[in-house]
Amino acid sequence: MKPMKTLTRNWASSGITSSPVPLCISRRSLQIGPRRYASGPSGVRQPTAEVTSAAEIASARTYCLDLLRKYDTPSSLLLPYIPSHARDAYVALRAFNIDVARTADTTSTPTIGMMRLQFHRDAIAKSLAGTPPKQPIALMIAQAADDLQARTGGRSNFSRNWFTRIVDTREKYLSNPPYPNIAALESYGENTYSTLLYLTLQALPMASVTADHIASHIGKAIGISTVLRGLPLIAFPGPANSHSNQGALGGDVGASRRGAVLLPLDVMAEAGVREEDVLRNGAEAQGLRDAVFAVATRANDHLITARQLLATIRAGGEADHEFEHKDEEEHVHLPSIGRVETPAQEVERAFGVYMPALATQMWLDRLQQHDFDVFSAKLRVTDWKLPFKAYWAYSRRKF
């Protein structure tokens, strides 16, 4: 019998510089720069209230909440840990993520999928300009943008570039092209789930490179876990509209109904995994569990790094590695809250946004318990312990 594998940091290949800390489970500088604001044709953002009634906003809120309950149970369960003033924004952003992710699952061809994604780009532009289309998610995003500007006296707004980045990345992977290496998979996580966390931080509002750095690692872990969880759904795609009720961890089924194995090609080659073998034999394919273990280890690395960063900053220290995206325009922040905070105060206020790390860690733990059999049906349901563990984690500020 082969020994059980344990998820620990893969220091030789991770490229994440920090002190090695094993996961205890069995088995396997603020920069100042200009901030752009979305605006209408006149250059002044038109308040959504001028074009949208309170009843429409209430209906849109209900629609988005229902979308979370149906397609993203973990995000729905973690809503109470977001500050009350930012919950509408959180719901709007998560609903947007669901709608964009499901584009691949609800369209029959990549061409139709691209048309649908262009609608999302146009809707975001109009929503951030204060003239949203009469579509629930667009109305909620516009309402959240109005509220954010009102709370900050116009000092902060959502980054249109970050919304566009999410849509563009979904479009890039609409036809399920392979990830050439694990770095490409990390880039996918950064451009989707990390970016979603950046937008959620903006809603607090939070303008902090330190907070963004932690969110980047968490988002990469979520993105990598998403691909692992979605592997069976993409290898053996069902009919359209069969998207799993697991939100970020539900898997993103491509617009093409042809099966594909979306593990990084370099990992597959090292583990001796052949796509045709997986499509023929599923979980019994040679080397598949080893490949899944290698990819899961990278996701786990990012969660370990995020926890270490959080602990270091709380202790008054500095990160032992640079945030690789710190020089990107969107991460060059203006103060958005009218007061100066220490990095420790910033991450404390941002902690609720980091809670999806808990759901991701729980899923990786369960994957390990099932010997990295990613085809196990038990991995495609929400862990019933999440509400209880979330309360414990938030109370102790640990994920």
Q: Is the pLDDT score of 141 beyond 70?
A: yes
- For residues 397 and 167, what is the distance between their CA atoms, to the nearest angstrom? 32
Q: Could you identify the residue written with the tokens 């930012």?
A: 86
User: Which amino acid would we find at residue 207?
Assistant: A
Other CB atoms within 10 A of residue 297 CB: 23
Q: Between 151 and 36, name the one with better pLDDT.
A: 151
Query: Each residue of 230-246: pLDDT tens digit?
Result: 999 999 987 654 444 55
Residue 135 has pLDDT above 70, yes or no: yes
Residue 174 lies in a domain: yes
The pair of structure tokens assigned to 166 is 């999410």
Is 3 a domain residue? no
Residue 56 · residue 134 · CB < 8 Å: yes
Q: Quick check: is 147 in a domain?
A: yes
Number of structural domains the chain divides into: 1
Q: Which of 171, 173, 181 is CA-nearest to residue 298?
A: 181
3-state secondary structure 204-262: CCCCCHHHHHHHHHHHHHHHHHHHHHHHHHHHCCCCCCCCCCCHHHCCCCCCCCCCCCC
pLDDT digits (tens, 9 = 90+) for 302-342: 999 999 999 999 999 999 999 999 989 889 876 656 668 99
Give the per-residue pLDDT at 133. Answer: 96
The pTM of this model reads 0.86
Query: What is the model's pLDDT at position 52?
Result: 72
User: What are the φ and ψ backbone dihedral angles of 324, each rounded to 5 degrees?
Assistant: -65, -20
CA dihedral angle for residue 37, residue 38, residue 41, residue 42, rounded to 10 degrees: -30
Residue 222 belongs to a domain: yes
Model confidence pLDDT, tens digit, residues 357-382: 999 999 999 999 999 999 999 999 98
Q: What is the pLDDT of residue 363?
A: 98
Inter-residue contact 282 to 265 (CB < 8 Å) = no
Q: Quote the domain boundaries for residue 241.
A: 11-396
- 7-63 confidence digits (pLDDT tens): 765 534 444 544 333 333 333 333 323 333 333 433 456 666 566 789 999 999 999
- Element containing residue 338 per DSSP (H, E): none
Question: For position 126, which CATH number holds?
Answer: 1.10.600.10
**If you average pLDDT over residues 120-148, what whole number do you get?**
97
Statement: residue 252 has pLDDT above 70: no
Examine residue 1 and state whether it is found in any structural domain, yes or no: no
Structural domain includes residue 5 = no
Structure tokens at 322: 């640079």
Of 104 and 368, the structure prediction assigns the larger pLDDT to 368
Higher pLDDT: 17 or 120? It is 120
CA angle 187, 250, 278 (to 5 degrees): 80
Mean pLDDT rounded to a whole number for the chain: 87
Residue 4 lies in a domain: no
